[in-house]
Every structure is written in structure tokens, then in C-alpha cells.
Amino acid sequence: MGATRIGVVGCAGRMGRMLVAEIAASENCVVSGGTEAPGSGSVNHDIGEAAGIGRIGIPVGDNVEKLLRAADVVIEFTTPAATAEHARLAAQSATPLVIGTTGLSSEETALIREAASRIPIVLAPNMSLGINLLLDIVEGVARRLGPEWDIEIIEMHHRGKVDAPSGTALALGRAAAKGRDVSFEEVAKRGRDGIAGARPAGEIGFAALRGGDAVGDHHVVFAAAGERLELVHRATSRAIYAKGAVRAALWVVGRSPGLYGLKEVLGL
């Protein structure tokens, strides 16, 4: 069989450039194309040069539908509204999709789920192996520790990140809620300010820090009287997300329609 043709939406952005470089460096796959928004200064420039890997003879395009038709699978890390639209277009062209976009609303997630009834989609708020192992661990710890253990999730990202708490922090909270067999929406506390009152039992709290060029730190704290358990993951390079996304892209081709996570990709 030939190499898997992988397209990248948002190919000239920070994450997009890393994805192009990772695809080009990986076995069994090739860069089939990439797009940026119409009017972007990157359109018609060579994708390889934008990614810092040298000229590969493929210009940056601005037509996502054309990209979808020319690829075996497409990876996209863009904005929530754009992601929902790209999922719809991918379903129309029967092209598998890997989504790493965070900050999706419930409505946008529902549109992605609708598209996944027609094509296979991998949706993961974080593409790193370590984080996905941590999700599994957090669920197990929350299941084993009683309600007298408070759960707090602290995350830090670079100053340019626009959504808070991060998609990964929310995924960790959902893992903890699943372990406790409770509704995440009913126990999540996304911030505290002023006279917030005593902490209710069973609450899952969040704190979001922003500053500098932090790639992504996540702390899950289980606190009880007299002791505290802390689980920590620190990302020092965005390359881990590109590696995970390319692995997901190679995995999803040929799968049945459905919404998958990196847990399935990694066989966890």
C-alpha cells in the first residue's frame, strides 16, 4: 500500500508547522497539502518552507474542501467555529478527521458528533501520550478515594492561550467525575472570587494560570485531612502533540464511523 496522504488545516500556524514537519519526517505518510484562511499572507507559499523543512513543492491553499478531497485524512488544530464547519465538510467528502482544537462549545461538539456518524473522527483535547495515561490514572484514583478527598486541577499555559480552563484540564476533571460516577457539570467549579464560602464536598475545582511561553502544565490534586496526593504532567515541547496527532491520523484511516479519543488510538 502507498503512503497515507495527510492534509493539515492551519498549516502555517505554530502547531500546523510542527504537524507538517512531523508528517514529512514520519514513515508511511506524506504531506498531501495544507490550508490557511483566504487572504492569509501564507497562501501560495511553499508548505515546507513555512514549516522550516525546505521546499517540498506544495503551495499553501485556502480551500478546505479541495484539501479534504486530496487527502486520506486531515488533521486540524484551528478555532472552535472553524473546526465544527470543517467536520461538516469532512463528512460530506467522507474524509477521516483528527481534531486537536480546544475550547469547543457543547453546540460545536454536537456538530462534530453528528459528522462522526458518517466518518471516523479522533477528537482529543491533548495529543500527548503522558496526558492520556494521566487521564486513565486520574479516573482510577478518583474511583478509589472517597468523597472526603477534595479534587483541584491547576493548569498553566503561555500568555497567548485564549480558552480557560484548558481543554486538557476539563478532560482531567471529567475523568475524575467519571471515576466518582457523578455528573461533571454538577460538580465542576471553574473559578473562585471574593467571599466564595466553604468548599462544598465533592466539588472539582479549577485554576487557570497564564504567562510567558509555558507549553502546558497540569496538576491534579487530591487533598484530604493530613495528606495530599498530586499528579503532575509538564509538557516542554509542542512536538509531542504533533507526534500524537500524526499517530492518530495513521490509525483512523479505514476505521468505522464514530468519535474516538487518543485512548483508543494508543490502545489504553
Domains and CATH numbers, the chain: 4-123+238-266 (3.40.50.720), 129-235 (3.30.360.10)
Residue owning grid cell 467519571: 178
| 157 catalytic per annotation | yes
238 close to 131: Cβ distance less than 8 angstroms: no
pLDDT in tens, the chain (268 residues): 589 999 999 999 989 999 999 999 999 999 999 999 988 889 999 999 989 999 999 999 999 999 999 999 999 999 999 999 999 999 999 999 999 998 899 999 999 999 999 999 999 988 898 999 999 999 999 999 988 999 999 999 999 998 899 989 999 999 999 999 999 999 999 989 899 899 999 999 999 999 999 999 999 999 999 999 999 999 999 889 999 999 999 999 999 999 999 889 988 7
Question: Per-residue DSSP letters for 44-107?
Answer: TSBHHHHHTS---S-B-BS-HHHHHHH-SEEEE---HHHHHHHHHHHHHHT--EEE------HH
Determine the angle formed by the axes of helices 80-93 and 106-115, rounding to 10 degrees.
Answer: 10
Residue 20: which of 64, 67, 52, 68 has the closest Cα? 52
Q: Active-site residue among 157, 218, 233, 243?
A: 157
Helix (H, G, I), strand (E, B) or coil at 112: helix
Please say whether the beta carbons of 61 and 33 come within 8 A: yes
From the CA atom positions of the chain, what is the Rg in Å? 19
Active-site residue, selected from the candidate residues 45, 66, 161, 219: 161
How far is the C-alpha of 227 from the C-alpha of 131, rounded, in Å? 24
Residue pointed to by grid coordinates 479522533 = 122
CA quadruple 10, 15, 20, 26: dihedral sign: negative
**pLDDT value of residue 1:** 59
Q: Is 77 left (phi over 0), alpha (psi -120 to 50) or beta?
A: beta
What CA–CA distance (Å, rounded) separates 100 from 79?
10
Predicted local confidence at residue 29, as pLDDT? 96
Sheet (strand 227-235) strand order? 188-189, 204-210, 150-157, 216-224, 227-235
Separation of alpha carbons 68 and 130, rounded Å: 30
- The per-type count for the chain, helices as H runs and strands as E runs, is 10, 11
**Is 66 known to be catalytic?**
no
